[in-house]
A = this chain, B = another copy of it.
Amino acid sequence: MSTIRDVAKQASVSVATVSRVINQSGYVHIKTKERVEKVIKQLNYQPNDVARSLYKGRSKMVALLVPDIMNPFFPQLARAVEDVASKYGYTFVLCNTDDEKEKELAYLNALRQKSVDGMIIVSSKLSQEDVSDITTPMIALDRKISIDIDLVTVNNQDGAQQAVRFLMQKGCQRIGHICGPENASSSKARLKGYLDVVKNEPWFSSGYIRSGKYGFEAAFEATKKMLTEHPDIDGLFAANDLMAVGALKAAEQLGYRVPDDLSIIGFDGIGIGKATKPAITTMAQPIYEIGATAAEMLITRIQDTTIPITEKELRVKLIERGSTRVS
């Protein structure tokens, strides 16, 4: 690998001039510029980003921290963030935290040491104190972390209400909820939305709520238990699609016919919901848009850290498929 000094020597100029050519800054005589460019091509010179980062204190990298890369929601999100990042010349780093606070903190540290310019974080575990000493621009996504941090979400509570009302409208009499992790704000909001609608129903009790931890397996087990305890359930609102699929499989195993015996509605709008039979009715999030919005916000903040904290809420949209009754 040749360095800027090699180029300078070969072109009989100083490193400053080469730097000016590369960065198109300051004055460089057109003749000189051409000569330098020729040498750069000759030597196949590529500036060393690490050296650049060291001086600038910035690395042209952004990171996305997600709790579960195996949930198709996050690859879709990652895709969006990466697209925007590379549009602005940033390298994208994806980190999987398993929703474990320890891993999150470890990443936060590692990334800061690498002078990462910004991060987008989906975390249920981090709180204000954990991030208060971090000056790197951050965006919280899906789940709130602190009031000091920009946030991108969807109308979770409202969407959940819509989902549950939709089930009722389709004739469901007893509606259970497979909720997400207790401390995720998105999960809490969806639970709240569910409660808003059902808490005054005569049949309602806490047994109609079980946690599936936003995961397939846990939801599968939770659904089996819930349906066994409450065989009268004829509607199920899962806080995400992955759990809705788990619920579907559980219902199937118990001999329920979906949607005739049991209507299931999910949340997220991931692709897998179309693959099942019946396909999953869902409150779809504009996943790509969420990721892209967060990424744009992050880059805006990187460029100007003084702008006021903002919260942006996108809207979910009902997609009716086969897992809910027709009438």
Stretch at the interface among A28-36, A75-83, A144-152, A309-317: A75-83
- Please state if B114 and A50 are interface contacts (CB–CB under 8 Å): yes
Known interface pairs A91-B114, A92-B94, A109-B46. Does A79 touch B75 (Cβ–Cβ under 8 Å)?
no
Interface size class of A (residues with CB under 8 A): 35 or more
| A window 3-31: CB within 8 A of B | none
- Interfacial chain B residues near A79, Cβ < 8 Å: 69-70, 96
Copies of this chain, count: 2
Chain A residues at the B interface, C-beta cutoff of 8 Å? 44, 46-51, 53-54, 59, 61, 69-70, 72, 74-76, 78-79, 82, 91-96, 109-115, 133, 216, 245, 249, 252, 271-272, 274-277
CB distance from A71 to the nearest CB of B (A): 9
User: What is the bound-complex CA distance between A150 and B59, given in angstroms?
Assistant: 30
Known interface pairs A272-B275, A275-B275. Does A91 touch B91 (Cβ–Cβ under 8 Å)?
no
- Interfacial chain B residues near A61, Cβ < 8 Å: 114
- Please state if B91 and A94 are interface contacts (CB–CB under 8 Å): no
Q: Which 6 pairs of residues, A with B, have the shortest CB-CB distance?
A: A277-B277, A94-B94, A49-B113, A69-B75, A50-B54, A50-B53
Q: Identify the interface centre among A44, A74, A79: most chain B CB within 10 Å of its CB.
A: A79
- Please state if A113 and B46 are interface contacts (CB–CB under 8 Å): yes
- Please state if B96 and A93 are interface contacts (CB–CB under 8 Å): no
Find the B residue at minimum CB distance from A56: B50
CB distance from A9 to the nearest CB of B (A): 20
CB distance from A136 to the nearest CB of B (A): 10
Given contacts A72-B72, A91-B110, 19 further A-B contacts (CB under 8 A): A48-B113, A48-B115, A49-B115, A50-B54, A50-B59, A50-B113, A51-B54, A54-B54, A70-B75, A70-B79, A78-B96, A92-B94, A93-B94, A94-B94, A216-B271, A252-B277, A275-B276, A276-B276, A277-B277
